[in-house]
Amino acid sequence: MRIGIVTGASSGLGRAYARQIDKTMKLDELWLVARREDRLNRLAEELNVRCRIFPLDLTRRESTEELRGALEEEQARVEILICAAGFGKFGRAEDLTAAETDDMISLNCRAAVELTRVCLPYLDRGSRVLEVCSCAGFQPLPGMNLYAATKAFLLRYTRALRWELAGRGILVSAVCPYWIKTEFMEVARNTSHPEAVRHTPFAVRPESVAAWSMSMNRLGLAVITGGPIPLAMRLGSKLLPSCVPMAVWEGMRRM
């Protein structure tokens, strides 16, 4: 059975990926993963492809185990894996609670890596993996420190994974967008210091990020930025000492 797996499918970018897969790929089943079951059911009803719902909290280790069990049972071939589940919190490291800190690392880093590991035996030549990182991962970001650090981790992991899987003909990309119009901001502002980042200008639509990044992944791009701002951030982080982008960001986030 040829399947696709999308985490974070109940909202924003993950949901846009599910719709894009439905439009552009031929699969036997699309597996949708997130905590909000009602949202996943609604999406499944809307899509043409047969969907299987996994209402799972990916911060819990048992969740990836459940997915591993389903893969084994179906002996599925994973045509596309998209790890889009993730969240950020505005605020300095000291503003975040222990639970926020733990969950962010657990979801943005551990869950993405663990689900990818579980899927590895089920990927084959031509399979595709998109790990949703962020341009926040290009440089350290005071006031959004932990989130940026989790995305830097995922970006490094994804780049090396691409090399490791190249011999098997598997296309792996790190997707590093700028602000996107999703529920991300609402979640990020629900913290003790929501004003740590005052504005999120020039946000783009999740549909365009999903469509663009899936096309660029097909072309084999390692890191997909998709726009002049994240591209400039990427180049800046390569060419300048980290204190320069950090100083620019410090000014921007307070405006």
Place of tokens 């962010």: 104
CB of 6 to ligand NAP, least distance (A): 9
> Going by C-beta distance under 8 Å and a sequence separation of 6 or more, which residues neighbour residue 157?
109, 112, 113, 131
- Count of C-beta atoms within a 10 Å radius of residue 125: 8
Would you say 98 or 241 has its CB closer to ligand NAP? 98
- Among 239, 245, 255, 254, CA closest to 141: 245
**Two structure tokens written together for 5:** 């797996």
Which lies closer to ligand NAP via its Cβ, residue 2 or residue 87? 87
Pairing of strands 2-7, 128-132: unpaired
Q: Could you tell me the CA-to-CA distances from 10 to 63, 107, 216, 254 in Å, in that order? A: 16, 15, 24, 31
Residues in contact with ligand NAP by the rule CB under 6 A: 8, 10-14, 34-36, 39, 57-59, 84-88, 107, 132, 134, 177, 179-180, 182-184, 187
For residue 125, the minimal CB distance to ligand NAP (Å) is: 27
Hey, which residues are catalytic here? 147
State in angstroms the smallest separation of the CB of 184 from ligand NAP: 3
Look up residue 59 and give its DSSP letter.
T
2/44 with CB nearer ligand NAP: 44
Nearer to ligand NAP, 2 or 35 (CB): 35
Distance from C-alpha of 171 to C-alpha of 60, rounded to nearest angstrom? 28
For residue 167, the minimal CB distance to ligand NAP (Å) is 28
